Chains A and B, each alone.
Chain A
Amino acid sequence: MTVIKHMKTKILALAMLCLLSIGSFAQSDLISGKVTDRWGEPVPGALISLVSNPEVRVSTDAYGNFAIGAAVGDQLAIVTRELETTRAEVVDQNDLEVVIDYASKPVNLGFGISQRMAESTGSVSTTSSEEINRSSALSLSNSLYGNALGLTSMQNGGAVWEDYADFSIRGLKTLSNNNVLVLVDGFERSIGTLSREEVESVSILKDAAAVALYGFRGINGVVSVTTKRGRYNSMDIDVSYDHAFTTPLRLPDFANGYTYASAYNEALENDGQPAKYNSYEMDAFQDGTAPFLYPNVDWVNETLKDKGYSNIYNVGIRGGGSKMRYYTLLNLEGNDGFIKDTETNDGYSTQMKYSKANIRTNLDVDLSEKTKAEVNLLGIIAEHNRPGRIHGTLMDNLYTLPSAAYPIKTYDGIWGGNETWTTTNPVAGVQNTGYARSHARSLFADVKLTQDLDLITDGLSGAFRIGYDNYAEFWEGKTRGYQYASDRLGFNNGIPVDTIRTAGGESSDLSFSRSLGTQNRHFNFAANLDYETSFTNSELFTSLIYSQERIVYNGQHNTYNRQNLAGYAHYTMHNKYIADLALVVSGSNRLAPNHKYGFSPTLSAAWVISNESFMQGVSAVDFLKLRASAGMINSDYIPAVNLWEQSYDGGSSYPFTDGFNSYGGIREGRLPTRDFKLERAFKYNLGLDAVLYRGLTITADGYFERRSNIFVPESGQNSAVLGASSAYVNAGIVDSRGIEIGIDYEKIKGDLSYFVGAKYTLTKNEIVEQLEAPRAYDYLKTTGQPVNQLFGLQAIGFFIDEAEIANSPVQQFSAVKPGDIKYKDQNEDGFINEFDVVPMGYNTAVPEAYFSFELGFEYKGLGFDALFQGAANYSALLNTKSVYRPLVDNTTISNHYYDNRWTPENVFAKYPRLTTESNDNNFRNNSIWIADASFLKLRTIELYYKVPKSVLENLRLKSAKLYVRGMDLFSIDGIDISDPEVIGVSYPTSKSINIGVAIGL
């Protein structure tokens, strides 16, 4: 037997139960043994059961010892608390030695199929709850940076409740949809609101062999989350508390009033316009004596503070009796944001606050010896609070409003505001626009029944599972308006004569509104029939899996019905040669009639070299396996609904009556796709798993993927004389290739343990075909380049004077002046225009290289660990308003730009001259604004103390850990003034110092 059913892997029991069951097996004797890990350390709490009768089970004691009633020749199954599995044959009655090694690690393929690492033929990496919980992230999604080999996890900005990481696996592989499938306990579910504590492991499924069973959905790779389950005859209570002191990471730094005014005058002068601020006004800004007329407001510091906090409370109870097991969790999270002065109103706060409760129960009930039931329930109640002016707008205000615009309040207490910047006062936005709240509820629920079908034939079993998830969000808002005003001096011959007041807006009372936000529901059904049998020296497991799902999101064309029928066979010979075959037929309602189904075959194989006899003498090699897989995976992605039909849809209207009542128009829609095909991936993977010197683990994968039949619009080929929108055609082809290497060294020796590890992923891709429009020059083609490759002009400095402009190629974007960017004439035609752009940098979404390294040690309970994570071959587009696009469109200017601007005195500047005009020449993609966004971040660093056993016993505790952690404490990168992963107008990302305690009862 090579495949252990998911259910069975979870079985743990105490010796007592075993002793009770011994009676029914009269011939058996008591066999004693010991379970150790690869360093020879005892493994406590491992469950030993008889393969022929799983009801006979015992567990190891604190020294790894066990005794079980069995006969010589019986097979024992061993499962550790970490779900590592192995087998052992009873040779004689005493001193059976069982080693739990790397090969015993679990690989979860989903649909109840879990394999030992030794037997897996797919490319799967797994991160455990221990690794995840070195992070103090509020969401599971933000705890995976650098933790899982092959998962590129990138941070997002925004409020805590929006700030979930973006995942990709093996880079950008297609021109259409690169989203990975995220599963929680086998069903597609959001992990944004999942807590770290409820997770047992996260597996990254990468190659065809790993994703085959998921049909249409697995084409871009799968992130599969497994939650914790109970254990037989035990009870563990975990209580933990984590408090974070949060600080914004790299807030923008904008010019003060005087600098802004100087910059504005300089920009006007550059534009050939008269100054806006006269010398009287400049002096007033400089000496600051008339703050109501000539203000200098640091809006960022007036609106944001540099301290927030988070709390995470967690109670988990994990255990079970002899017939049932449970895991139940209550997890509470709270976060208080960075907004200043939020308590100025009676009765409500305008702080950015987030609170969430996760309540989970995972139950396993053994209804009979042959029938098992599983019930998983997770309820999440989340709430957030924000100022009436939504944080996106508030941040936009901060990135727009100059210090010199107006005071926070006028001298007589009215909120600042004027004609140009009307209701953009961010302090008023916090204090005087009311507040808004969201209440979100989600339910993840499923039930599973497993039946042993030995009665029909030996080795047959079946299961089915039904799940229903629901999510709904409600909004309520109480908003109000405010009156604004500002004063300015009127001048006569440069001498102030009077003050002129501008006023606007209206003060109003709170007005209530509410609405339903997003809601979705998700129905799942899965059933499988498994059969396992063994022959001489070989074993076969087969499974027939049927699943279907229905996902309904808000709005039209947002219902997804899918079906999947998979036949899976897993064959092992001599424990050395392993082959997997998956034949999958998938159906989807998104696809064209007569093309509703796709067939995906995958074949994979592995060779466990370390089990060969010629390797037995090689003591350095504990485990060595080569893997290879090839498969064809389809997708049901379509770029537009019903694109195979000629549709007629709403066109322009026209008023034909005297009252100008509009008549609706109808027009011919996009031309239909005539030869409909499914987007398809051919995936090839070669991999190696090795354990050397009892602690050095190496995983390496190399892959190639050809994505074909990608839907691309034919418009690149069609003349506009056609007069219709072009059809989508299955003509796109993208090739991608890459490597993933993970190296870990881990050692436990008595009181000392330590680990070091590194992970490195490199992906490259190339668009082979996309029906690109004809280009004047080959270097303009995006075909042949990676997906989302940036293109830009090559800046070769700034124009020094009019003479240089006159003697240079004509730059055709807009009239140029000294201080404007001078570009390289790539085609040497004497003009600088769209024909002079060249590929530059990489893309802004998914870095090509993603890597991490970690280290840690523990001695007598005192420990330390750290995780660094970085990315390279990654670009940023520097186009943030005010920061890199100053003054234009009534924005302000960052000190960074001001200090690096071109002036006649500083001709070797970093950035072009100041201007108040939209400058098409300067503000377009070019080598100045396409920046290297590579970074290396210290994701977590932790110092902890585990209270020694002797003390714990007095306290009647099983474990206790105290820690201090740093999250995202620093980043080394070339961007410097903002988070390299979050460039743009965004609520700030944060770094934090956390203190915490975790106690086991």
Chain B
Amino acid sequence: MKIKNLIIGLCGLTLLSNCSEMMDYNEIVSYDKEDIFESFNRTESFVTNIYGQLDYDFGNYGNGAMLASATDESEFAWSISNIHDFYNGAWSPINSISSTWSNSYAAIRAANLFLFEAKDQTFDEFQNNKDYFEQMEKFNRYQYEVRFLRAYFYFNLVREYGNVPLVTTVLTEAEANSVSQSPAEDVISFIADECDAIVNHLPVSYSSLNFAETGRVTRASVLALKARTLLYAASPLLNPSQDVAKWRAAATANKAVLDSCAEYGISLGNYTALWGTENYKAGEVIFARQVGDLNELERNNFPVGVEGGRSGNTPTQTLVDAYEMKATGLAWDEPGSGFNPSKPYEGRDPRFAMTVAKNGDTGWPNYNSRALETFTGGVNGAPISGATPTGYYLKKYLDATVDLRPNSTNSKRHSWITFRLGEFYLNYAEAVFQTLGSADATDATFTLSAREAVNKIRQRSDVQMPELPLGLSNEEFEARYMNERMVELAFEGHRFWDVRRWKQGELFSEVTLMKLSQNPDTEEITYTRVIREREWSDKMYFSPIPDQEIRKNNNLVQNPGWN
């Protein structure tokens, strides 16, 4: 271009600045592809980012609502949160609430990109580095870690949406816009096959390796992912014909977890060890999603009326009712349970007090010098905005030593438990019960009965609930099992999915709340149970695929009922 040459000539004449230098001036500091995959450190960072996509729920929804508040475990105190959309009729493809779809595919793309680009890297430039071989050892393991992560994200997708596109390459725009869904069954097989393929390439623990690390995928994590996936695959939602072979596969996979944990020294410990700053090291933890120092969880869940607390996820009476009487092992409303209506919280399953803060509790949180008043007119009760609608506040997962007072604010380390042994005893119990047909049955493979597996949970050191008795009918066992699962895994992100895979969505059509009123003279509390209805529809077994996705890609099919 002549004129351009003229400009360059003129620039030269003016001697003011070098022309092309001026036009090329750029402050870019980002990396290109080669910068990433030809460097150990940046390749590691690329993998780190995929880990960083792992989900945890210290309040993923509006104003700090946890998914638990979309179940009968909890009611969210603030009307402003979109968590209520799950049950107030507002949930739809155009208000899909969850971001699992986009988040998972973003993580899956990163995994696919890594597996494609990093495949044959040898980092020759670094060959003379002292730690080259150690670095290579680490690097060679990344592909298996990444494959695990990809399988894990597919589990999240299949659990929520059923049939989803199964993508294992880096897609172009055109490919992404025309991809079809794979049947849920195929996605499940993919996850299980991937787990089988990588399990032996991952270490039992990282602590003894050259690079002592925590929070990475271990061999037990892989077994756990497979076991949980197969449990979902066998459950009524994905196994409508109730093919027992699927239950057997689930039982086998969960047994493998129990056996491996025994071998690797993973065993049940205290219930309260499941949260707090050191929970990622708790004896029964298989994989914890390590997060870091934070206090938002506490800020969003400490009671209002406590300085800095703004309340949020409040345990329901429905959950409280699930805590049996410790002495008898009976539900509160069963005859002979020992329940005292004037002291309704005495003698309950110890996990109740560990999970739920109630009226009159002291030292919750530690810096609060007043006893909790959750009754109407109380310091922590209605009608203050944000006061608990259920009569209770949440304790589980919260760190009582977090201080939110302006002059002594602190943050504490938190980790979200992705897999822990307790879940797999329950998974095993469910799968074995379904495979063998009774709570007490055993066979040559499954020498531990379903009932015994549940009792392991009940017998943990700081719980010590009476054992489930022998000879329960199948209906009785099923009810006791489901109750146990609700209690044990409360607020750990299971209930939302468990009730769906059991196809028992009707359970979510109401929750029970407790209204406490105090007689000002006698200071006696009156308890009034309040039923709050919620909308349930069977289409909710699977989440709606975001409306835009269906419109952008004609090959995608919306989940039933959401059209």
The chain A residues found within 8 Å of chain B, CB to CB, are 268, 273-276, 419-420, 491-493, 504-506, 525, 527, 546, 548, 550, 556-557, 559, 561, 563, 565, 583, 585, 587-589, 593, 596-597, 599, 641-642, 645-649, 651-658, 660, 662-669, 671, 714, 717-724, 726, 773-776, 810, 812-815, 833-835, 888-890, 916-920
Report the nearest B residue to A561, measured CB to CB. Answer: B22
A275 vs B382: C-alpha distance when bound (angstroms):
10
A889 contacts across to B, CB distance below 8 A: 80
Assess the A723–B89 pair: CB atoms within 8 A.
no
Assess the A723–B108 pair: CB atoms within 8 A.
yes
Closest A-B pairs by Cβ, 7 of them: A652-B52, A723-B109, A665-B49, A651-B49, A918-B80, A722-B176, A917-B79
- Given A654-B49, A668-B113, A776-B551; 15 other pairs, CB 8 A cutoff: A268-B383, A491-B377, A548-B11, A548-B16, A559-B27, A583-B3, A656-B48, A665-B49, A718-B176, A721-B176, A721-B179, A722-B105, A722-B176, A723-B176, A919-B79
Assess the B80–A917 pair: CB atoms within 8 A.
yes
Assess the A565–B3 pair: CB atoms within 8 A.
yes
**B479 CB–A CB distance under 8 Å:** no
A557 vs B25: C-alpha distance when bound (angstroms):
10
B346 contacts across to A, CB distance below 8 A: none
Greatest chain B CB density within 10 A among A506, A527, A583, A664 is at A664
Assess the B177–A589 pair: CB atoms within 8 A.
no
Question: Looking at the complex, which one of A583, A656, A669, A813 makes contact with B90 (CB distance below 8 Å)?
Answer: A813
A919 contacts across to B, CB distance below 8 A: 79
> Given A654-B48, A720-B101, A917-B80, are A834 and B95 also a contact pair (CB < 8 Å)?
yes
Report the nearest A residue to B405, measured CB to CB. Answer: A504
Assess the B173–A657 pair: CB atoms within 8 A.
no
A773 contacts across to B, CB distance below 8 A: 548, 551-552
**B197 CB–A CB distance under 8 Å:** no
Assess the B25–A274 pair: CB atoms within 8 A.
no
Greatest chain A CB density within 10 A among B95, B173, B212, B521 is at B173
Assess the A666–B31 pair: CB atoms within 8 A.
yes
Assess the A645–B382 pair: CB atoms within 8 A.
no
Assess the B25–A663 pair: CB atoms within 8 A.
no
> Given A717-B552, A723-B110, are A667 and B49 also a contact pair (CB < 8 Å)?
yes
A920 contacts across to B, CB distance below 8 A: 90
**B125 CB–A CB distance under 8 Å:** no
Assess the B23–A657 pair: CB atoms within 8 A.
no
Determine, out of B38-46, B66-74, B336-344, the stretch whose residues face the partner at the interface.
B38-46
Chain B 383-418 against A: per-residue CB contact (8 Å), 1 yes, 0 no?
A: 101000000000000000000001100000100000
Assess the B105–A651 pair: CB atoms within 8 A.
no
The chain B residues found within 8 Å of chain A, CB to CB, are 1, 3-4, 6-7, 10-11, 14, 16-17, 19, 22-33, 35-36, 42, 44-46, 48-54, 78-80, 84, 88-90, 92, 94-95, 101-102, 105-110, 112-113, 165, 167, 171, 173, 176-177, 179, 212-216, 290-293, 305, 307, 376-377, 382-383, 385, 406-407, 413, 520-521, 546-549, 551-553, 556
A833 vs B562: C-alpha distance when bound (angstroms):
14
Greatest chain A CB density within 10 A among B7, B48, B407, B556 is at B48
Assess the A546–B10 pair: CB atoms within 8 A.
yes
A563 vs B8: C-alpha distance when bound (angstroms):
10
Assess the B90–A814 pair: CB atoms within 8 A.
yes
> Given A642-B30, A918-B80, are A720 and B102 also a contact pair (CB < 8 Å)?
yes
Closest chain A CB from B107 CB (angstroms)? 8
Report the nearest B residue to A278, measured CB to CB. Answer: B377
Assess the B48–A651 pair: CB atoms within 8 A.
yes
B27 contacts across to A, CB distance below 8 A: 556-557, 559, 641
> Given A565-B3, A835-B94, A916-B385, are A721 and B549 also a contact pair (CB < 8 Å)?
yes
Question: Looking at the complex, which one of B22, B78, B291 makes contact with A589 (CB distance below 8 Å)?
Answer: B22
Report the nearest A residue to B165, measured CB to CB. Answer: A721
A664 vs B32: C-alpha distance when bound (angstroms):
17
B88 contacts across to A, CB distance below 8 A: 814-815
Closest chain A CB from B252 CB (angstroms)? 32
Assess the B46–A667 pair: CB atoms within 8 A.
yes
A810 vs B88: C-alpha distance when bound (angstroms):
11
Closest chain A CB from B291 CB (angstroms)? 8
Assess the A589–B292 pair: CB atoms within 8 A.
no
Closest chain B CB from A588 CB (angstroms)? 7
A776 vs B551: C-alpha distance when bound (angstroms):
8
Assess the A812–B92 pair: CB atoms within 8 A.
yes
Assess the B292–A660 pair: CB atoms within 8 A.
yes
Assess the B49–A666 pair: CB atoms within 8 A.
yes
Assess the B14–A527 pair: CB atoms within 8 A.
yes
Assess the A652–B53 pair: CB atoms within 8 A.
yes
A-B contact pairs, 24 of them (CB 8 A): A273-B382, A274-B383, A276-B383, A491-B520, A561-B23, A565-B7, A565-B10, A588-B23, A589-B25, A589-B26, A596-B24, A649-B30, A649-B31, A651-B52, A666-B49, A667-B49, A717-B552, A721-B171, A723-B110, A773-B548, A774-B552, A833-B90, A833-B92, A834-B94
A917 vs B77: C-alpha distance when bound (angstroms):
11
Assess the A833–B551 pair: CB atoms within 8 A.
no
Closest chain A CB from B190 CB (angstroms)? 16
> Given A587-B7, A652-B53, are A720 and B549 also a contact pair (CB < 8 Å)?
yes
A268 contacts across to B, CB distance below 8 A: 383
A814 vs B89: C-alpha distance when bound (angstroms):
8
Question: Looking at the complex, which one of B33, B46, B407 makes contact with A665 (CB distance below 8 Å)?
Answer: B46
B176 contacts across to A, CB distance below 8 A: 718-719, 721-723
Closest chain B CB from A488 CB (angstroms)? 12
A616 vs B167: C-alpha distance when bound (angstroms):
80
Assess the B551–A419 pair: CB atoms within 8 A.
no
B45 contacts across to A, CB distance below 8 A: 651, 663-666
B19 contacts across to A, CB distance below 8 A: 563
Assess the A654–B551 pair: CB atoms within 8 A.
no
> Given A642-B26, A645-B28, A833-B92, are A658 and B212 also a contact pair (CB < 8 Å)?
yes
Closest chain B CB from A131 CB (angstroms)? 39
A718 contacts across to B, CB distance below 8 A: 173, 176-177, 552
A559 contacts across to B, CB distance below 8 A: 25, 27
B101 contacts across to A, CB distance below 8 A: 720
Assess the B30–A656 pair: CB atoms within 8 A.
no
Closest chain B CB from A791 CB (angstroms)? 14
A834 vs B49: C-alpha distance when bound (angstroms):
34
Assess the B173–A658 pair: CB atoms within 8 A.
no
A546 vs B106: C-alpha distance when bound (angstroms):
48
Closest chain A CB from B531 CB (angstroms)? 14
Assess the B22–A548 pair: CB atoms within 8 A.
yes
Report the nearest B residue to A665, measured CB to CB. Answer: B49
Closest chain A CB from B94 CB (angstroms)? 5
Assess the B32–A647 pair: CB atoms within 8 A.
yes
A815 contacts across to B, CB distance below 8 A: 88-89
Report the nearest A residue to B43, measured CB to CB. Answer: A666
A814 vs B101: C-alpha distance when bound (angstroms):
24
Report the nearest B residue to A642, measured CB to CB. Answer: B28
Greatest chain B CB density within 10 A among A268, A587, A648, A726 is at A648
Question: Looking at the complex, which one of A561, A583, A651, A833 makes contact with B25 (CB distance below 8 Å)?
Answer: A561
Closest chain A CB from B383 CB (angstroms)? 5
A668 vs B26: C-alpha distance when bound (angstroms):
20
A548 contacts across to B, CB distance below 8 A: 11, 16-17, 22
Report the nearest B residue to A915, measured CB to CB. Answer: B79
Closest chain B CB from A799 CB (angstroms)? 15
Closest chain A CB from B177 CB (angstroms)? 5
B113 contacts across to A, CB distance below 8 A: 668
Assess the A660–B290 pair: CB atoms within 8 A.
yes
Report the nearest B residue to A564, measured CB to CB. Answer: B7
Report the nearest A residue to B555, measured CB to CB. Answer: A719
Question: Looking at the complex, which one of B23, B214, B383 makes contact with A656 (CB distance below 8 Å)?
Answer: B214
A583 contacts across to B, CB distance below 8 A: 3
B376 contacts across to A, CB distance below 8 A: 274
Assess the A546–B7 pair: CB atoms within 8 A.
yes
B171 contacts across to A, CB distance below 8 A: 721-723
Assess the A646–B33 pair: CB atoms within 8 A.
yes
Closest chain A CB from B279 CB (angstroms)? 12
